Structures are given as structure tokens and as C-alpha cells.
Amino acid sequence: MVSMKLIMLGAPGSGKGTQARFIMEEHNIPQISTGDLLRSAVKNGTEIGLKAKEFMNTGKLVPDDIVLQLLKERLNQKDCKNGFIIDGYPRNLTQAQDLKKITNIDLVINIEVDYILLIERITGRRTCKKCGAIFHIKYSPPKEYGMCDKCSGHLYQRTDDTEETVKQRINTYEIETKPLIEFYKQQKILETLISDGSISEMKQKVSTLLAEKFHL
Ligand code: AMP
């Protein structure tokens, strides 16, 4: 089995979570979303969750040491042995350097999307409370209103998916995360894909890229 250690890079709403989930299903490697890990900590009221909540609700980055601790614990689990796909980390240069110290990365997939589309994509997004599947009220609506196609869980709108917070999150991305494109370009492990079509068209582009890179 080929080992794939991947990072999905992109602005909020670029579809990186959706594509990461496809990769997980197709290649049997875990998707590790630091956003999901943090949301679960908030939901469970853990110490980390209590510290993270305010940052998340205002669209700011949670402090690096907190996220690193969560990520390290997750990467140490057995299912990450043959690879993983990290979505939502690193979000700044310090995090990229931290990550370099704990694992090597084979490929960074950078998804680029037109700015105007981002806001529409995020504010229309609905997430399953139970399994985390992602839907969109216009672009990929569930078969039944408010209900997950996969597990019948309840769909909800993330508290940080409102227009005001979205703008702040995009701003955070522009200032803190975007420099990572150059960081990974210099390491020659970055590939950029433009997302200007449907979700399934993007899925095809990602599959083709992985087949090329990993000789599948
Ligand atoms: P996401 O689900 O990736 O959009 O993340 C939602 C929110 O969680 C972000 O707006 C941040 O507040 C926080 N977050 C997720 N990943 C990170 C990270 N790597 N570093 C700092 N904060 C993060």
C-alpha cells in the first residue's frame, strides 16, 4: 500500500474539507481536520475547548500550542501509520515549522477559488452533527431537508459560518495562511488546483493529481 501524507490548503469555503473526505474514502487514509478536533473539544467542554471557543467564534486562529497538542495526539494514533490527509493545518508559518518537526509531508494540495464564491459557499454550508458530512443548500442539497443523506443525522449551520465571521476568517486566511503557498512551493511539494466547476469536477482533478504523483 502506498503511503500518502497530504495537506489540503485553501481559504475557508474552498472545498478542502469536502475533497479531503473524498480522498479519505477513496484511499483509506484518515482525514484530520483541526477545525473538527477543536469543535469536538468545544462541544465536550474540555479545557482546550474552553480556551478555543472565543477565537473560533470570532474567526481568529486558536493559539498555535493548543492546536499543535491536538494534532500531535491525533497523528500518534495507529490509523495514521500509512498516511493521512490534514485539512485546516498549518494555518501560519509557525505551524508549518512545527509540523515539519513531527512528520514529513509528500504533497500539499492548494485549492484556489474566486473570492466572491467563497462567501456564498460558506454561508450556504450545512454540516451533519453526527458524521460531519458537508452539504450546501444550493450546490449539494441533502435529499431530505435538514437531514444527512449518509447517516440521517441532523444538519446544522456552524456558528462561525455567518457572513460577518466568514469575512474575518477570509481575512485571517489572507494574512496568516496564504504565505504558506510560497513556503511549500520552495520545498517543491505544492500543487495548485483551481476550483471553478462542480464538486465532482474538482474531485476528478484531485484524483488525477494523486494518480500522477503516487503512480496509482
Ligand atoms: P475550519 O473548520 O478549518 O474552518 O476551522 C474553524 C476554526 O477553527 C478556525 O476559524 C479557527 O478559529 C480554528 N482553527 C482550525 N484549525 C486551526 C489551526 N490550524 N490553527 C488555529 N486555529 C484553527
List the domains of the chain with CATH numbers: 4-29+82-214 (3.40.50.300)
| Percent share of the chain, pLDDT over 70 | 100
Q: Which residue has the higher pLDDT, 152 or 162?
A: 152
Q: Does the structure show a pLDDT above 90 at 43?
A: yes
What value does the CA radius of gyration of the chain take, rounded to a whole number of Å?
A: 16
Give start and end residues of each alpha helix (H) in 76-178. Answer: 93-102, 115-123, 163-172
The answer, yes or no, to whether residue 1 has pLDDT greater than 80, is no
Q: pLDDT of 28-39, one tens digit each?
A: 999 999 999 999
**CB-based pocket (< 6 A), ligand 1:** 12, 34-35, 38, 55-56, 59-62, 67, 88-89, 91, 95, 160, 169
Q: Catalytic residues, which ones?
A: 16, 91, 125, 158, 169
Query: Of all helices (H) and strands (E), which one includes residue 135?
Result: strand 134-136
Is residue 205 within 8 Å of residue 109, measured between CB atoms? no
**DSSP per-residue string spanning 189-204:** -EEEEE--S-HHHHHH
How far does CA 175 lie from the centroid of its chain?
18
Pocket test for ligand 1, best of 21, 32, 43, 56 (most atoms within 8 A of CB): 56
Probe target for ligand 1 pocket from 7, 8, 40, 62, with the most ligand atoms within 8 Å of CB: 62
In DSSP terms, 126 is beta-bridged to 135
Q: How far is the CA of 34 from the centre of ligand 1 (A)?
A: 6
Amino acid of residue 128: C
Q: Report the pLDDT value the prediction gives residue 117, as an integer from 0 to 100.
A: 86
Q: How far is the CA of 128 from the centre of ligand 1 (A)?
A: 18
Query: What is the arithmetic mean of pLDDT over 66-95?
Result: 96
Q: What is the pLDDT of residue 163?
A: 86
Cell of 169: 476568517
Give the per-residue pLDDT at 37: 95
Mean predicted confidence (pLDDT) in 43-55: 95
